[in-house]
Amino acid sequence: APGAQRFIPPEADLNQLREAAPACRGCDLYRQATQVVFSAGPPDAPLVLVGEQPGDVEDKAGEPFVGPAGALLTKALDELGVGREGAYLTNAVKHFKFRLSPRGKRRIHDKPDRIEITACRPWLVAELAVLRPRVVVALGATAAGALMGPAFRVTRSRGELLPWPASAYRPGDFPEVDPPALFMATVHPSAVLRSDDRAGAYRAFAADLAVAVKAAA
Ligand code: URA
Ligand code: SF4
């Protein structure tokens, strides 16, 4: 059966989830990737940031957000006084999806599809169930879709603090959280890097994060 659920030990804490993740065969992405990239950050972090999937650098390092997009995210978190260490960083999909460049020299990021996002979602649900963070931020449409459902539009709702899990995709997946957890979607840091107005895009991204950081404090 496809999907990560059967690879997730019941009642696992974060370390047990991390230890179980390399054995996941919930979709085909493990075949091509170097390794699973699970997450980084403290289990008691009040703020969780969810990206799309590890990139080329992360795939080799085994750490999330250590490539170019990660550098931009780290800079924003540093400027907000949180730092990487103050947040829990994870991804909607835990293996790097890529295709090879025509000459086969470069690994080019490929968007995860709905089957892969759905297959990997049980890891994210399990992480959030043990973390019980105050604020969850989706970085980009993939993470927002994984958490809030495919109809969610980042362009319409970015930067808004929304109640959680009232509007979530499958609210039954998540435990009751106390105090009530909040959700926010913003753009992916790689979209900031690709923007024609990079400075403006960065300011808007950092402003969204500032709201989330404040709500998590
Ligand atoms: N982009 C992501 O979405 N996640 C990472 O871990 C790195 C880059
Ligand atoms: Fe499992 Fe997710 Fe990796 Fe697919 S991407 S094999 S579901 S960990």
CA of 167 to the centre of ligand 1 (A): 25
Other CB atoms within 10 A of residue 68 CB: 14
Contact 50, 147 (CB under 8 A): yes
81-98 residues labelled b (16+ CB within 10 A) or e (exposed)? ebebebbbbbbbbbbbbb
Q: Is the CB of 41 under 6 A from ligand 1?
A: no
Q: What is the reported pLDDT for 167?
A: 47
Nearest to residue 52, comparing CAs of 90, 2, 108, 107?
90
pLDDT tens column, 59-90: 999 999 999 999 999 999 999 999 999 999 99
The amino acid at residue 30 is Y
pLDDT at 178 over 70: no
Across 138-163, average pLDDT:
93
Across 187-211, average pLDDT:
98
Give percent of the chain above pLDDT 90: 84
Least confident of 27-41, 172-186, 195-209: 172-186
Q: What is the reported pLDDT for 170?
A: 60
Q: Is the CB of 189 under 6 A from ligand 1?
A: no
Q: In what order do the strands lie in the sheet with 182-186?
A: 39-40, 88-91, 47-51, 135-139, 182-186, 162-163
Contact 179, 50 (CB under 8 A): no
Nearest-CA residue for atom 2 of ligand 2:
120
Contact 9, 20 (CB under 8 A): yes
The pTM of the full predicted model, rounded to 2 decimals, is 0.95
162 vs 51, more confident: 51
182 DSSP assignment = E
206 DSSP assignment = H
Cis peptide preceding 112, ω within 30 of 0: no
Q: Is the CB of 51 under 6 A from ligand 1?
A: yes
Q: How many CA atoms lie within 13 A of 75 on its CB side?
A: 13
Atom of ligand 2 nearest to the CA of 119: 7
CA of 95 to the centre of ligand 2 (A): 6
Domains of the chain, earliest start first: 5-216 (3.40.470.10)
What are the residues whose beta carbons fall under 8 Å from the beta carbon of 111, sequence distance 6 or more? 52, 97, 142
* Residue ranges around ligand 2 (CB below 6 Å): 4, 21, 24-27, 29-30, 36, 93-95, 116, 119-120, 123
